[in-house]
A and B are shown apart, each in its own frame.
Chain A
Amino acid sequence: MRTTLPKILCIGCGIIMLLQFFVPLEFVQRDMLQWVNDSAIVVATFGLAIGLASLVHVHSARIRRRARGWGFSVVTLACAVVVAVIGLLKSDWGPVVAHSQRYDILPNGVTAGVIEVTHTLFGYQTETAFTNTLAAAALVPLQQRTVPMFDWFYNYIMYPLMSTVFALLAFYMMTAAYRAMRAKSWEAGLLLAAALIVLLGQVPVDQFVRLPAIDGMSLFEWLKLRILDYPNTAAKRSIIIGVALGGLATSIKILTGIEKPYLGGRG
């Protein structure tokens, strides 16, 4: 039973997803699909609780053992607690971190939304977004509310942190490109030549050097398009076809019970 029920559920859900693609009946398209999607949301919610338990367990153990870098675990747990508490607060509870006002402008009978946000924590200056400055005089406040502190934390702490990590990619791309573009063999040389042409095609070289034009494009831009449209697209499509077949084969193996990663490989 421990392995049979999950197998039945897996095969059943797989068949429902297949049916909803081919069968246009409302019962299948709406109700059955909705049931599968709702079940996925329920599983994900329970999964989140398990994930939180794992996070607390692993990091509290590291702090207890004074494992290397245990200070990071303290920060992680403290942040998890603070964000969870802030997320549980009602939007009008806790310190006011920002006000927002919503207006409707009525220039010549056309209605447009405007949101004005005034941040009060840490001295952020007023941000105002006008869709039509000419009609600003006709602003009529429709709604005034306190911005939830959770949103403020996400927008002004989490988001900049994520952007910072994302920005590191530019430097990593440069080091990766440096490694890739060393012509150690004739294949690597070919790659280097193609990369140089594409790079030159991306920038307006013809503004500095007089180059022949083909089809109304500069030489390097034309070459870049030829490289991207033909050999590059052909290679990408061959990988995509292989991936699609591999995905289909894996799906069939899971649906027929040949492979059962969701059961820990047993059964």
Chain B
Amino acid sequence: MLGDVLTVWLQRCDAVVFDLDKLNVFVGLGLIGSVMMLCVYRARRGGARFIRAVPGLQAVDDALGRAAELGRPVLFTTGLYGVDDVATLAGLNILGHLASRSAHYDSDLLVPCANPVVMTVAQELVKERLTQAGYPERYRADTIYFITDEQFAYASAVCGLMQRERPAAAFYLGSFAAESLLLAEAGADAGAIQVAGTADVSQIPFFIVACDYTLIGEELFAASAYLSRDALLLGSVKGQDLAKVLIIAALAAGVLLLCLDQFFGCHWGTWFASLFTVTEAL
């Protein structure tokens, strides 16, 4: 209905300024975005701020404390990808918290980077967080450095670093490919407490078997809210959960309607499924 009205209106405009085949994507994006912003607004006004315990994030302080006790460094990597990757950005958000906490525990933080832009952002982020935490003198640019953007050259360099420096804690939070298991096994061999998190479904099993704690999928994106307890960030996590409830409701409705199609020969399920179909690949 809405699509027909818009088509007529746009035909009058004599120019196609909106791809109507993607109207459902636009509506879905707007709906989920609105739910999230509403939750952020509520959180700003002092709404519910509960977030369930995430074992991998609860272990962060233990891992940093252990590094301080052993006098060994902490290793952090966001993986191979650049700042255009949303998981890398989520990893960088966590790096800020780790930097201030490791400074508090007086531990060295090593951040070998596979991307020079990520390295620059990481340096700025750590410098800013250390200044905010009251440890500006703890910032050392040479601990956040570029290695190479070649996948396995990077993996061997980080494995070698772990063999030499024997970090007490290793954090792999970002986007990873086949190098995930190489890094995690090298970290296990060095005796580090390992916390990993990635959005890549095919790499999660490798981290689960080789690391002590793994943030699965969306937990990586919620980590900065969990660690900072910032009201706005917690609000956005709440929004994510509400959006997930909407998606589960849509899935349940789709299953029910498709079952009704089978039993009564109607086409409600097919019509409902067509609402979520995108003609052009995303």
Contact between A172 and B181, CB atoms less than 8 A apart: yes
Known: A176-B210, A243-B217. A266 touches B128 (CB 8 A): yes
Contacts of A259 in B (CB 8 A): 93, 224, 233
Interface stretch, picked from B101-109, B141-149, B261-269, is: B141-149
Which residues does chain B contribute within 8 Å of A176, judged by CB atoms?
Answer: 181, 185, 206, 209-210
Interface-side segment among B47-55, B58-66, B239-247: B239-247
Cβ-defined contact, A55 with B181, below 8 A: no
Question: What CA separation (Å) do A265 and B17 show in the bound complex?
Answer: 36
Partner of A51, one of B22, B125, B146, B164: B146
A265 x B32 contact (CB < 8 A): no
Interface of B is mostly: helix
Interface residue tally for chain A (C-beta within 8 Å): 61
Q: B115 interface residue, CB < 8 Å from A?
A: yes
A175 touches which one: B32, B36, B185, B204 (CB < 8 A)?
A: B185
Q: In whole angstroms, how far apart are the Cα atoms of A264 and B205 in the complex?
A: 31
Nearest CB in chain B to that of A164: its residue: B152
Contact with A along B121-156 (1 / 0, CB 8 A): 100111111001000000000100111011111011
Q: Which of A52, A168, A264, A266 has the most CB of B within 10 A?
A: A264
CB distance from B7 to the nearest CB of A (A): 14
B199 within 8 A of A: yes
User: In terms of DSSP, what is the predominant structure of the interface of chain A?
Assistant: helix
Interface size of B in residues (CB-CB distance below 8 Å): 78
B149 to chain A minimum Cβ distance, whole angstroms, is 8
Write the B220-247 contact mask toward A (1 if CB under 8 angstroms, else 0).
1110100000001100110110011001
Q: Which residues of B contact A (CB under 8 A)?
A: 15-19, 22, 25-26, 29, 32-33, 36-37, 40, 82-84, 86-87, 89-90, 92-93, 96, 113, 115-117, 119-121, 124-129, 132, 142, 145-147, 149-153, 155-156, 160, 164, 178, 181-182, 185, 199, 201, 204, 206, 208-210, 216-218, 220-222, 224, 232-233, 236-237, 239-240, 243-244, 247
Query: 15 A–B contact pairs at CB < 8 A?
Result: A21-B22, A22-B18, A25-B17, A51-B116, A168-B182, A172-B210, A239-B201, A239-B204, A246-B217, A247-B87, A248-B33, A252-B36, A264-B129, A265-B93, A265-B128
Known: A250-B89, A261-B92. 9 other contacts (CB 8 A): A49-B116, A50-B120, A50-B146, A165-B182, A176-B210, A236-B201, A242-B216, A246-B90, A247-B221
